[in-house]
Copies of this chain bind each other. A is one copy, B any other.
Amino acid sequence: MDRESVFWRIADGRLPPPPCAETLGIEFLRVTPESGSIEVKFEATSAFLNLAGHVQGGFLAAMLDDTMGPALVATLDPGEFAPTVSLNVQFHRPARVGALKGIGRVLLRGKEVCQLSGELLQDDKVVATGTATAVIRRMGTQTAWAAAQKPA
């Protein structure tokens, strides 16, 4: 963990969040790297609505990705990054324009492979749950990462 990392400077409000998080209206409510948990707030806008007038599931998936990812990123050492390699989302009920709360947990903090879980709530009701696998890489290992990701 590196309290001077870009992540922590964003979580502390010393730097603006990256564009994707800004688009999702992120706000960090609580980051507890010791227990690998996080609480974030999102703001669903009318730009996320589908034909039924609900928030499209993919945008809920994007919020879950931006809940689970930061739970892990908060624990990283300098020079480490952790791309998500798979994301699984279950949809429980429709979500509408307005605030959502994301709760993320690091279930397994391996040296490389990490397993994450998250849930997304609106008005204290679960609208979606998810799991993700992320792989910790060190700067300079991008080539190995790319090679590992290349289809055989």
Give me the interface of A with B, judged by CB distance under 8 Å: 6-7, 18-24, 46-52, 55-59, 61-66, 81, 83-94, 126, 146, 149-151
Contact A62 B51 (CB under 8 A): no
Q: Beyond A24-B58, A87-B91: 15 further Cβ-contacts under 8 Å?
A: A19-B46, A19-B48, A19-B49, A19-B50, A20-B55, A20-B56, A20-B59, A56-B65, A56-B66, A57-B84, A58-B62, A58-B63, A83-B91, A88-B89, A93-B149
A57 contact set on B, CB distance < 8 A: 65, 83-84, 87
- Bound complex: CA A37 to CA B97 (Å): 31
Contact A47 B62 (CB under 8 A): no
> If the complex has contacts A66-B58, A87-B88, are A51 and B6 also in contact, measured as CB distance less than 8 A?
yes
